[in-house]
Every structure is written in structure tokens, then in C-alpha cells.
């Protein structure tokens, strides 16, 4: 028996005992009248509190629970506990919902939810960006009224969502590529996931171009080699022709060897995630080596001058920096016509070591400069092959400088020559006197 029945029985028993006592003292008529008055008062109190409870349930306000005596006080107390527990549960659900929304908003992918009529119920910020939507403004709008891409409309209406849809020409600048996939759920509702795959497609395109370029670069010398081998095998040649063909074959074999060597260097640079060492280089020896190589390659055909600050040095990987700086010097020699001038300087500018190569060559058109460090990128393919370049030198330079947190700045003017400047960060720049300290 619960407390309500107990209190009701006790109250009736007390009322009966009190009426019996009054009846014994003042007669049954008086006792009956007293009982009727008590019952009327209880009925009025019950009606009053019932009305209060009705208003409370009809328009509940958390924390505003009335107080009373007796059984109604117990009811209000228990109602207050129930409301408090429900309020805590609601707050917990709201917090979980808020964390869920925050997690979806933090996702790098776009998320949009559609109702059974393909109207937008909710979408995160990434989906807004991908589709050009406004989550508040476009709420309950049919998505195909806002995303009018023909491929998307066909995909959404096809109800075949096993494969994702790739949409090109998206974003504010119409240069983004977005992948879209729909996942049905619930009662004819749909979840749309989007991902920006612009960089993935660019990387894949670069990979395809790289494979094609490697194949092309190796195919040419291989074709030459096979042609000469076939000629030497099938035709009688005098000693002079045979030696000339062997020299040409050696040139092509050397070219292939250089391409493979540079490819291995690039693979090593890209695969090595460790930062370069902090050992200070003997830049006097490095610059002498670069000057000797430049003079040897030029063979006296150019005016080559080196201007060096003997006290200046940098910290890093010597083999990598010799390769990178050497590529800049040899490129200047290769692409500067005979009689041209090449000036190389090594100096300190605003606490930073700067290596600069200036030439009086043909110059580089402005539209080509941003792409110079791409693998196998050629301004003039025939001229590059004539000079013996592999098309990988500046790509190696870029990766070496990135590892050393250095910057490459290129300025050029057609017919006036080019300037390649490498700026090392201050934290990698040092003076030779620090070596003796």
C-alpha cells in the first residue's frame, strides 16, 4: 500500500473518530453536519489544487512548483523531483546533440540531411561551401532548386547511389572538384556526403604526367641507342663511323643515367621526413667546387665571376645543398649563349644568407616562372635536350630548399637574362667566427 492510500485511510479514520466523538457529545445531527463541512472543505481544497496542477501541466515552468500541506504537498514534491530529473535528461541530450553537431562541423567533409521530399533539413559549413548554400536561409528548400548542376540532379533522381558522383567546376571560383555520395536512411530520407578532391585530382594528374614524361624522356635515348645498335650490327662501318656512333650511344646512355640519378635523388628527398642536420658547412670549399664545375662546363665560353663572403656559412646537409646550388649554377651556364656573363654571389642580407646566380641569357617568359620547379617542365624542349638537362634539376632544388626552410626567388626578363636567389632563414645562417669560438 502506497503513501497516498495510507494517508487517505488515516484521514478517513480520523474523521470518523472525530465525528463519533462529536456525536457522543453533541448528537448525531451535529456530527453529521461537521462531517459534511469537512468533506466540502476537502473537496474545495482538492478542486483548488487540481486547478493549480492543471495550469502547471498546461504551461510548465522549470523550478516553479507550488507548495502545500498534506497529500498535495507530497504530490508537488514528487512532481518537482520528476521535473528536475527530466530537465537533467533533456540537458544531457542537448549537450550530446551539441557535441555531435560540433563534431560534424569539424569534419573536413560536407554533410547535408534531406527529408523525404529532398528538402534540406540541416547541413554543415563545408556542405554550404561546396554547394553554395546558406544553412539558415535555405532550410526546407528543395536541394535541386539550389544545386542546379545537371549531373547532380540526375544522380539524385536516379536512386542508384552505389557509386559517388564527381562534380567539376564547383565553388566560388568554379575551379573546385567535389565528390558527392548519397546514403538513404530512415523513411525516405537522405544523407549527402561531399569531399573536395581538387588536390587529389591534381596529384593524380601530376602522377600521370610524371609517368608519361619519364617514359617520353627515356624513350628518346633508347630509340637512338637501338637505332645505332641495329645500324652497327647490320651495316659494314669504317672505324671513323663506328667511333662516331659509339660516341652518340654513350651520350644517350649518359643522358638516361643522369635522368635515373636525378629521379633517385628526388625519391630520396621526398621519402626522407627527417629534418636536415645542423652542421655548419665549409662554404668556401663548396663555392670553390661550384666555381670549378662552372668553369669546366663553360670551357671559357662565358665570363664567370664569383663574389663570396668568406665569413658567411649555413647549417644543413652539405650533399643536398651542393646539389641544389650546383644546379642553379650549371643551368645558368647551359642556358646562357656563348660570350654571356654569369655572376654568382654569396652574401649576408638582413641576417640571412643569400646565394644569387645572375646570367645574361635569353630570359624566361613570365608565364613559365611559376612552373619552373615542376618535374620535366620545359620552356623549350629541344633547347633543354641540346644542353643536356634532365628536366629535374629545379625540382631537386625546390625539395632541398623546402627541407632547409629556404626560399627560391626567380626574376627574369626575356632578352635580358635571369636571376635566381636562394634565401636561407636566419636560424640557419652563421658567421665563420662562430666556428672558432
Q: What is the pLDDT of residues 257-315, one digit of tens each?
A: 877 887 888 777 777 667 777 789 999 999 999 999 999 989 999 999 999 998 999 99
Question: In this predicted structure, what is the pLDDT of residue 5?
Answer: 65
Given a cut of 90, whether residue 431 has pLDDT beyond it is no
CA distances (Å), origin 33, targets 1, 26, 36, 309: 31, 11, 5, 121
The answer to whether residues 293 and 419 belong to one domain is yes
Mean pLDDT of the chain: 82
Identify the residue whose cell numbers are 663548396.
286
Question: In this predicted structure, what is the pLDDT of residue 211?
Answer: 76
- In the predicted model, what is the mean pLDDT of residues 210-226? 78
Question: In this predicted structure, what is the pLDDT of residue 357?
Answer: 96
The answer to whether residues 319 and 354 belong to one domain is yes
Question: In this predicted structure, what is the pLDDT of residue 340?
Answer: 93
On whether residue 155 sits in a domain, the answer given is yes
The answer to whether residues 49 and 112 belong to one domain is no
Residue 402 grid cell: 623546402
Q: Summarize pLDDT for 88-133 with one digit per residue, the tens.
A: 888 888 888 888 888 888 888 999 999 999 999 999 999 988 888 8
On whether residue 202 sits in a domain, the answer given is no
On whether residue 277 sits in a domain, the answer given is no
On whether residue 374 sits in a domain, the answer given is yes
pLDDT band at 1 (very low <50, low <70, confident <90, very high): low
In three-state secondary structure terms, 111 is: strand
Q: Please provide the DSSP assignment of 183-218 as one string.
A: EEETTTEEEEEEEE-HHHHHHHHHHHHHHHHHHHHH
The answer to whether residues 331 and 409 belong to one domain is yes
pLDDT band at 434 (very low <50, low <70, confident <90, very high): very low
pLDDT band at 411 (very low <50, low <70, confident <90, very high): very high
Question: In this predicted structure, what is the pLDDT of residue 273?
Answer: 65
- In the predicted model, what is the mean pLDDT of residues 145-172? 88
φ, ψ of residue 353 to 5 degrees: the values are -80, 135
Question: In this predicted structure, what is the pLDDT of residue 252?
Answer: 81
Identify the residue whose cell numbers are 613570365.
366
The answer to whether residues 300 and 389 belong to one domain is yes
Distance CA 274, CA 281 (A): 18
The answer to whether residues 244 and 297 belong to one domain is no
On whether residue 201 sits in a domain, the answer given is no
- In the predicted model, what is the mean pLDDT of residues 28-44? 72
pLDDT band at 170 (very low <50, low <70, confident <90, very high): confident
Question: In this predicted structure, what is the pLDDT of residue 435?
Answer: 44
Full residue range of the structural domain in which residue 395 is found? 283-436
Question: In this predicted structure, what is the pLDDT of residue 307?
Answer: 93
CA distances (Å), origin 391, targets 108, 138, 217, 294: 36, 51, 9, 19
Domain boundary among 173, 196, 219: 196
355 close to 409: Cβ distance less than 8 angstroms: no
Burial of 71 (0-12, 13-18, 19+ CB in 10 A): middle
* CATH code of the domain covering residue 306: 3.30.565.10
Distance CA 123, CA 138 (A): 10
Given a cut of 50, whether residue 19 has pLDDT beyond it is yes
* CATH code of the domain covering residue 245: 1.10.287.130
The rounded percent of the chain whose pLDDT value lies above 90 is 28
The number of domains in the chain is 4
The answer to whether residues 148 and 178 belong to one domain is yes
Given a cut of 70, whether residue 65 has pLDDT beyond it is no
Identify the residue whose cell numbers are 665570363.
303
Which residue did the predictor score with more confidence, 8 or 366? 366
The answer to whether residues 287 and 432 belong to one domain is yes
Candidate from 67-76, 137-146, 355-364, 412-421 with smallest mean pLDDT: 67-76
The answer to whether residues 368 and 310 belong to one domain is yes
Question: In this predicted structure, what is the pLDDT of residue 181?
Answer: 94
- In the predicted model, what is the mean pLDDT of residues 29-51? 72
The answer to whether residues 97 and 113 belong to one domain is no
Question: In this predicted structure, what is the pLDDT of residue 165?
Answer: 92
Domain boundary among 55, 80, 101: 101
The answer to whether residues 314 and 251 belong to one domain is no
The answer to whether residues 128 and 8 belong to one domain is no
Domain boundary among 271, 294, 311: 271
Amino acid at each position: 500500500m502506497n503513501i497516498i492510500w495510507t494517508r487517505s485511510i488515516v484521514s478517513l479514520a480520523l474523521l470518523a473518530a472525530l465525528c463519533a466523538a462529536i456525536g457522543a457529545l453533541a448528537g448525531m445531527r451535529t456530527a453529521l453536519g461537521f462531517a459534511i463541512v469537512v468533506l466540502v472543505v476537502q473537496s474545495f481544497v482538492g478542486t483548488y489544487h487540481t486547478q493549480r496542477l492543471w495550469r502547471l501541466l498546461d504551461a510548465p515552468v522549470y523550478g516553479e512548483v507550488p507548495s502545500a500541506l498534506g497529500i498535495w504537498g507530497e504530490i508537488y514534491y514528487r512532481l518537482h523531483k520528476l521535473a528536475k530529473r527530466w530537465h537533467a535528461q533533456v540537458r544531457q541530450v542537448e549537450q550530446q546533440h551539441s557535441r555531435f553537431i560540433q563534431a560534424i562541423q569539424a569534419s573536413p567533409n560536407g554533410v547535408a540531411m534531406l527529408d523525404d521530399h529532398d528538402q534540406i533539413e540541416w547541413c554543415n559549413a563545408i556542405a554550404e561551401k561546396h554547394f553554395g548554400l546558406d544553412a539558415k536561409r535555405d532550410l526546407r528548400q528543395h536541394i535541386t532548386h539550389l544545386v542546379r548542376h545537371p549531373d547532380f540532379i540526375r544522380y539524385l533522381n536516379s536512386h542508384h547511389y552505389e557509386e559517388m558522383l564527381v562534380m567539376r567546376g564547383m565553388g566560388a571560383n568554379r575551379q573546385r572538384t567535389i565528390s558527392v555520395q548519397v546514403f538513404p536512411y530512415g523513411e525516405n530520407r537522405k544523407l549527402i556526403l561531399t569531399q573536395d578532391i581538387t588536390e587529389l585530382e591534381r596529384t593524380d594528374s601530376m602522377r600521370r604526367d610524371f609517368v608519361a614524361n619519364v617514359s617520353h624522356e627515356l624513350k628518346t635515348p633508347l630509340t637512338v641507342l637501338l637505332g645505332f645498335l641495329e645500324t652497327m650490327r647490320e651495316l659494314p662501318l669504317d672505324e671513323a663511323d663506328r667511333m662516331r656512333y659509339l660516341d652518340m650511344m654513350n651520350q644517350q646512355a649518359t643522358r638516361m643515367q643522369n635522368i635515373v640519378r636525378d629521379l633517385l635523388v628526388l625519391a630520396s628527398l621526398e621519402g626522407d621526413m627527417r629534418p636536415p642536420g645542423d652542421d655548419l658547412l665549409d662554404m668556401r670549399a663548396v663555392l670553390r667546387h661550384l666555381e670549378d664545375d662552372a668553369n669546366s662546363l663553360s670551357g671559357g665560353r662565358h665570363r664567370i665571376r664569383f663574389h663570396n663572403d668568406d665569413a658567411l656559412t649555413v647549417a644543413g646537409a652539405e650533399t643536398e645543398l651542393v646539389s641544389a646550388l650546383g644546379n642553379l649554377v650549371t643551368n645558368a651556364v647551359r642556358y646562357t649563349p656563348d660570350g654571356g656573363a654569369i655572376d654568382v654571389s654569396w652574401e649576408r642580407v638582413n641576417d640571412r644568407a643569400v646565394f644569387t646566380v645572375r646570367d645574361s641569357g635569353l630570359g624566361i617568359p613570365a608565364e613559365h616562372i611559376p612552373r619552373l620547379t615542376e618535374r620535366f617542365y620545359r620552356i623549350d624542349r629541344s633547347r633543354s635536350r641540346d644542353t643536356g638537362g634532365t628536366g629535374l634539376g629545379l625540382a631537386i632544388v625546390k625539395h632541398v630548399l623546402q627541407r632547409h626552410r629556404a626560399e627560391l626567388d626567380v626574376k627574369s626578363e626575356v632578352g635580358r637574362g635571369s636571376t635566381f636567389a636562394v634565401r636561407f632563414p636566419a636560424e640557419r645562417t652563421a658567421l665563420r667566427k662562430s666556428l672558432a669560438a
